[in-house]
Amino acid sequence: MNFTPSIVLAPYGEHWKAMRRITQQSLNRSSSLSLLPSQLMDARLLLQELLVHPGNYIGAIRYALGKNIIENTYGLRITSPDSEYVKLSRETHEVIQNAVVPGSFFVDVFPALRFIPEWFPGAGFKRLARVAKARGEHMVDGAFDAAKNAINSEGSMPSLVGSLLSSEGPEEMTREEYEYTIKWAAGSLYGAGTESTTSSITTFLLTMVLFPDVQKRVQDELDSVVGRKRLPTFDDRASLPYLEATIKESLRFHPPTPLGIAHRLVEDDVVQGYHIPKGSIILPNIWAMNMNEKQYDHPERFDPERYLGPSPALESPVFGFGRRACLGVHYSTAAIFITVASILSVFDLRAQDKDGKDVRIEPAFTGGFVSHPKPFPCRLTLRFPESAELIRGGTSLL
Ligand code: HEM
């Protein structure tokens, strides 16, 4: 599939503006507040999943996040980690990861590659691109068609696609153009949201097992604000500054998209005396910015304290820049907050194997444009005797 019509890869122009307009309406700072109740509910369901399958914490996180994005975007009900739409998002990313340089298809960066055959040594990415095409079609067209068919059916859920389709759309667009815009806008949220947020939460958990003192401080703060008789809610967020600082530090420590998304210059530019001609492709090295000693004291250290006090450090530019900055920033920071606050309020995380034996962890991350921590031992145990009861009852009053 050619992913160019997506918000992420579309060139600046009318199609991109139309998609950005309709998605921003539901994801800007104030509208994204309406998504918080569903995010809270899915964080609670995640705890129930972890209680039963603590070893499969990455799968459970991907399920909870994918479920929330797919349900809110398409209104398709997701009831199991094995849902085809949750799996599809991961599988499409897996092949795209290997067919792209970060944020752009190889063939866009090196147009001459268009002319080499698939069997040519080193042209494996072309085969991957073919698989990505099939999976992407299923993801973008399949989810949209299913959402369209589900509208007005029994048990259908309110969603972005549902509400957009029920309106006339802008006067200057035909119905066909309007539906094409909605299809690609929705596919972009589905494609861009799940893997990046899963990576950020998994990285957070990795930092907790690497730095148990920080984990303890986060839990002490949760205990003093939330206590042990209930689970965290979004109302607690403003009272948990150390947790917020730890989330910022984990995003800086390892950004989910270390090289951002590739951009093509629409006009000539000069940066620090270097002439960059129109048409050049640039990759913003977010990882290097996060490791800049002029910006961050001892950048290699994991130190949430840098975000506290009277002159906190600059937040890392993990969500990108300017008019192409991430659309999901408010939504995903809320998801990260409620997910990690919920997990740490009832579980201890340890670098241990399943038998409880301590294991040394060397942090390592996958390549590709969304970079995840490589699997690491992380044993989840309940923090106190009432934890299990709290988790089981966590969804009943919502
Ligand atoms: C921790 C999670 C996330 C991170 C680190 C992240 C990071 C980024 C980055 C670096 C960009 C490129 C910005 C640029 O080119 O300057 C981007 C773009 C984008 N993100 Fe995110 N993202 C996250 C979550 C999400 C979520 C949850 C959604 C949707 C629900 C989303 C939707 C998008 C879209 C649609 C774009 C393309 C914007 C455009 O080109 O106009 N992202 N994101």
User: How far is the centre of ligand 1, averaged over its atoms, from the C-alpha of 104 (Å)?
Assistant: 14
User: How far is the centre of ligand 1, averaged over its atoms, from the C-alpha of 210 (Å)?
Assistant: 27
Task: Tell me the best of 100, 198, 326 to mutate to test the pocket of ligand 1, counting ligand atoms within 8 Å of each CB and taking the most.
Answer: 326
* Nearest CA, atom 7, ligand 1: 319
pLDDT tens-place string over residues 305-339: 999 999 999 999 999 999 999 999 999 999 999 99
User: How far is the centre of ligand 1, averaged over its atoms, from the C-alpha of 332 (Å)?
Assistant: 9
Which helix (H) or strand (E) segment holds residue 270: the answer is strand 269-271
CA distances from 307 to 234, 244, 300, 303 (A): 20, 9, 15, 8
Pocket of ligand 1 (CB under 6 A): 7-8, 20, 69, 188-189, 192-193, 196-197, 200, 256-257, 260-261, 318-321, 324-328, 331-332
Is the separation of the CB atoms in 281 and 108 below 8 Å?
yes
**CA 186 – CA 73 distance, rounded (Å):** 6
Q: Which pLDDT belongs to residue 139?
A: 86
How does DSSP classify residue 100? E
Task: Tell me the best of 196, 287, 318, 365 to mutate to test the pocket of ligand 1, counting ligand atoms within 8 Å of each CB and taking the most.
Answer: 196
pTM (2 d.p.): 0.93
Q: Which pLDDT belongs to residue 208?
A: 98
Residue 153 main-chain phi, psi, to 5 deg: -85, 165
Q: Which pLDDT belongs to residue 3?
A: 75
Q: Which residues of the chain have pLDDT under 50?
A: none
Alpha helices in 102-235 (DSSP H): 106-109, 124-137, 143-150, 160-165, 175-210, 212-225
Q: Which pLDDT belongs to residue 359?
A: 94
Tally helices (H) and strands (E) across the chain.
14, 8
User: How far is the centre of ligand 1, averaged over its atoms, from the C-alpha of 258 (Å)?
Assistant: 12
**Quick one: which atom of ligand 1 is closest to the CA of 256?**
5
Residue in 2, 6, 8, 1 with CA at minimum distance from that of residue 262: 8
pLDDT tens-place string over residues 232-288: 999 999 999 999 999 999 999 999 999 998 888 999 999 999 999 999 988 899 999
Residue in 243, 250, 240 with CA at minimum distance from that of residue 200: 250
* Nearest CA, atom 23, ligand 1: 196
**CA 170 – CA 189 distance, rounded (Å):** 21
Reduced to 3 states, what is the DSSP secondary structure of residue 347? strand
Count CA atoms closer than 13 A to 126's CA, side-chain side: 15
- Measured at the CA of 60, the angle between CA 183 and CA 162, to 5 degrees, comes to 25
Tokens at 364, concatenated: 């390592």
Q: Which pLDDT belongs to residue 275?
A: 97
User: How far is the centre of ligand 1, averaged over its atoms, from the C-alpha of 16 (Å)?
Assistant: 14
Q: Which pLDDT belongs to residue 56?
A: 92
Q: Which pLDDT belongs to residue 394?
A: 84
Is the separation of the CB atoms in 260 and 103 below 8 Å?
yes
User: How far is the centre of ligand 1, averaged over its atoms, from the C-alpha of 319 (Å)?
Assistant: 6
**CA 291 – CA 298 distance, rounded (Å):** 8
Tokens at 243, concatenated: 């947790």
Q: Which pLDDT belongs to residue 342?
A: 98
**CA 129 – CA 286 distance, rounded (Å):** 26
**CA 150 – CA 169 distance, rounded (Å):** 20
Residue 264 main-chain phi, psi, to 5 deg: -105, 130
* Nearest CA, atom 16, ligand 1: 320
